[in-house]
Structure 1
């Protein structure tokens, strides 16, 4: 009998998973897993979860690098909740805190731990801006907020994202025709940003595009098209 056969998933095929630090037992986060996420976690040794907002599988740390290496899986007496023990790289929380449970209710007020394991702003400052933007986009995707424009695009689906790219491409062309240099910069920035959202939809980091450009570097346009079997 497999682990999956032992577990009780809810009507949506999900089971809550509490994740704790192997070093000190601190609770790091709570998320959901489906059968595929459980199997992937066991097979790879790297923790995967299921996103209810995106309705797909995701690996913890796939965009931030803050991966979780599995050390143990336990399940409760009713077999409807998991307890994962992991080695956490960096911060478990997208805010930069080691744990998502960094706020405490005390005497009618909230005490917030100020210390962060990871300074998100420092990371962004040190990275290429496209990589930094992609990182933010993936964080918004994994932790959606009603105030997040990026999260709203992901919620509306691929067609909405593609529509925005088409809109921004048209506005870029119009700006180019108009000849206003500042407007060209602004519209190209909008186009880049929405293209990064498309990459995020498919979990394709900008490095994949960089690698493709490096492959093409030094080839003429005609040679590059011929290498892909396209007519010049």
Structure 2
């Protein structure tokens, strides 16, 4: 099947097109955001929604800070080719308030314009403690140092020395974590685990693999009864 030419879509004068995001499982409308051609292409390539922020004037990945990513199932465009419908698997909540959907306030019919629909609210910090988002943030910096090497950057230095040096560091950090575990000092274990995770992110960057791909693989395994080691 011939790939669809994204330039056939009718982006507005600012190069944007509205995108309605819908829960693929139950049809709930989750949010409305805007895409430009680049963010749409990134969405197609990664399988995760990327949008263009009109206020921040930059592309952003949904869940890049909260960890509440959206895995894309299907993308449709309307008859006028000037709007998108994206069906996703939503992780936790789509709204920045912590609610499942951004559409939780009722305008009509209601005696009060501010009347809210009953909807469970999630606290991202309570759910994740911010821990998942930092991995992606660090990975973004790693990829930037790979694309734009800096003379004083440790990461740029690793990439310049090639895969063997990266593998050596991963091996060294794994050994140091084993030693820390044998020593039984929690602070030392946390420190060495952070070192290992960091260098594993560098290794992923070398291969062009995003942390979300590893998370997706873990999620697939967790859902299989045969993978008892994940339970």
TM-score w.r.t. the length of structure 1 is: 0.52
Give the 3-state SS of the residue equivalent to 2:106 in structure 1: strand
Q: Could you tell me which residue of structure 2 aligns to residue 118 of structure 1? A: 122
In structure 2, what is the Cα distance between the partners aligned to 1:3 and 1:41? Answer: 15
In structure 1, what is the Cα distance between the partners aligned to 2:118 and 2:124? Answer: 13
Q: Could you tell me which residue of structure 1 aligns to residue 188 of structure 2? A: none
Residue 51, structure 1, aligned to residue 53, structure 2: yes
8 Å CA contact 1:90–1:117 kept in 2: the answer is no
The correspondence for 1:70, drawn from 69, 72, 81, is 72
Residue 34, structure 1, aligned to residue 36, structure 2: yes
Give the 3-state SS of the residue equivalent to 2:102 in structure 1: coil
Give the 3-state SS of the residue equivalent to 2:22 in structure 1: strand
Deviation string, structure 1 residues 39-68 (Cα, Å, up to 9, x no partner): 000111111000111111110011111100
8 Å CA contact 2:97–2:121 kept in 1: the answer is no
Give the 3-state SS of the residue equivalent to 1:112 in structure 2: coil
In the TM superposition, what is the alpha-carbon distance from 1:3 to its structure 2 partner? 3.7
In the TM superposition, what is the alpha-carbon distance from 1:81 to its structure 2 partner? 0.3
8 Å CA contact 1:98–1:117 kept in 2: the answer is yes
Gaps of 5+ in 2: 138-193, 200-231
Sort the Cα spacing of 1:29 and 1:113 in 2 relative to 1 into closer, same or farther, 3 A: same
Sort the Cα spacing of 1:120 and 1:43 in 2 relative to 1 into closer, same or farther, 3 A: closer
C-alpha RMSD over aligned residues: 2.8
8 Å CA contact 1:49–1:57 kept in 2: the answer is yes
In structure 2, what is the Cα distance between the partners aligned to 1:6 and 1:122? Answer: 43
TM-score w.r.t. the length of structure 2 is: 0.53
| Alignment coverage as a number of residue pairs | 137
Q: Could you tell me which residue of structure 1 aligns to residue 81 of structure 2? A: 79
Q: Could you tell me which residue of structure 2 aligns to residue 108 of structure 1? A: 111
